[in-house]
């Protein structure tokens, strides 16, 4: 395949006959895990600087030449689809600061085998782009929102933008997107809003997923700041909200509940207290072309080098398969070997 990178222009891809022949190989690791979901970070830049993710002037950023162009992303997505990936989510940084992202969405939505296409966004730029994104083929958004208080929002994100994010949630619903809210709970920072968020989910109808604070991207992390799923559920119960478990897919990290006698769905992603590594079905591609088989894996698998040195699709697929066979046990292994520490990976390069 030859490709020409021109983000603002029409894609021009030409296959040279080196794509797979016969039955496509499938990905499976030594623990019999098979991935179906691919997270693609398309930029390491963000228009927020959240204290737990991307503190100002504290994280080195990739040069423009290091970032994968859209044609490279398209090519890799097609290869992953041939290997069994069915769902793609675009992440960042903040994906909507990348120019002409609608063009990328349009071509990704047409890849054979890709059933769903979503995006994780902070919501600041979504409202004015929603119509174009929907037309391009985007189906769902996960909005990162860690507080419902405007002053605290500015303190956490260093941006005065809560009203814009709330407006984006409404616009997304009006335009027919599937919408979820992701909320990272940090002790002493926003854990006093757990009940408020649950009531927000009930009154506004947005499913909210509480995420336990993980040692990714931030050197402020330590176990004392983690509010566990169990503790969060206790606080909700003490407030008078009774949670009823819903049917959960084993491959979905969120444990979902309805609220008795109310509308609304609450989810918990208990990464620290109840690791779900055994059923993980996710892969990650960083903005600079590193392939991660695990969120906590060192980003050493370099696919960009293969792309830019002329390797065929088949050779790239072989490399992906070989890397995946060596997928680590995950967070469970780090906990068992007491190797957990802050700043294990940079969230602005690998997304959520």
- Average pLDDT for the chain: 88
Structure tokens at 173: 């619903």
- pLDDT of 296 > 50? The answer is yes
Q: Model-level pTM?
A: 0.90
**Cβ pair 304, 65 in contact under 8 A:** no
Burial (0-12, 13-18, 19+ Cβ within 10 Å), 179: buried
pLDDT in tens, 228-274: 999 999 999 999 999 999 988 877 889 999 999 999 999 999 988 98
What gap in Å lies between CA 46 and CA 63, rounded to an integer?
A: 14
* Residues 228-255: b if buried by 16+ CB within 10 A, e if exposed: bbebbbebbeeeebebeeeeeeeeebbb
* Residues 120-145: b if buried by 16+ CB within 10 A, e if exposed: bbbbbbbbebbeebbebebbbbbbbb
Positive/negative CA dihedral, 78, 53, 239, 152 = negative
pLDDT in tens, 148-181: 999 999 999 999 999 999 999 999 999 999 999 9
> Mind giving me the DSSP string for 306-324?
HHHTT--HHHHHHHHHHHH
Query: What's the per-residue H, E or C state across 108-146?
Result: HCCCCCCCEEEEEECCCCCHHHHHHHHHHCCCEEEEECC
């Amino acid at each position: 395949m030859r490709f020409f990178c021109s983000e603002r222009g029409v894609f021009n891809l030409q296959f040279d006959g080196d794509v797979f022949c016969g039955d496509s190989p499938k990905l499976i690791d030594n623990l019999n895990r098979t991935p179906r979901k691919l997270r693609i970070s398309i930029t390491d830049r963000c228009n927020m600087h959240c204290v737990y993710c991307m503190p100002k002037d504290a994280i080195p950023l990739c040069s423009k030449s290091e970032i994968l162009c859209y044609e490279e992303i398209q090519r890799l997505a097609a290869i992953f689809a041939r290997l069994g990936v069915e769902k793609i989510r675009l992440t960042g940084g903040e994906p909507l600061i990348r120019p002409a992202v609608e063009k990328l969405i349009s071509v990704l939505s047409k890849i054979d085998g890709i059933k769903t296409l979503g995006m994780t966004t902070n919501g600041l730029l979504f409202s004015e782009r929603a119509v174009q994104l929907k037309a391009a083929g985007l189906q769902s958004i996960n909005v990162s929102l860690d507080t419902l208080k405007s002053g605290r929002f500015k303190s956490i994100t260093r941006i005065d933008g809560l009203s814009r994010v709330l407006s984006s949630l409404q616009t997304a619903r009006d335009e027919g997107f599937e919408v979820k809210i992701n909320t990272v709970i940090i002790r002493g920072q926003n854990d006093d809003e757990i009940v408020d968020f649950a009531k927000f989910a009930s009154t506004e109808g947005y499913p909210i997923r509480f995420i336990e604070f993980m040692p990714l991207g931030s050197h402020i992390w330590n176990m004392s700041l983690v509010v566990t799923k169990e503790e969060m559920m206790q606080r909700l119960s003490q407030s008078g909200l009774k949670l009823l478990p819903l049917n959960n897919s084993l491959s979905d990290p969120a444990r979902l509940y309805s609220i008795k006698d109310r509308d609304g769905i609450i989810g918990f992603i208990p990464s620290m207290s109840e690791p779900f590594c055994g059923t993980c079905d996710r892969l990650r591609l960083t903005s600079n072309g590193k392939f991660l088989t695990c969120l906590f894996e060192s980003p050493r698998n370099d696919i960009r080098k293969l792309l830019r040195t002329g390797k065929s699709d088949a050779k790239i697929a072989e490399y992906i398969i070989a890397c995946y066979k060596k997928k680590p046990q995950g967070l469970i292994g780090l906990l068992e070997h007491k190797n957990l520490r802050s700043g294990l990976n940079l969230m602005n390069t690998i997304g959520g």
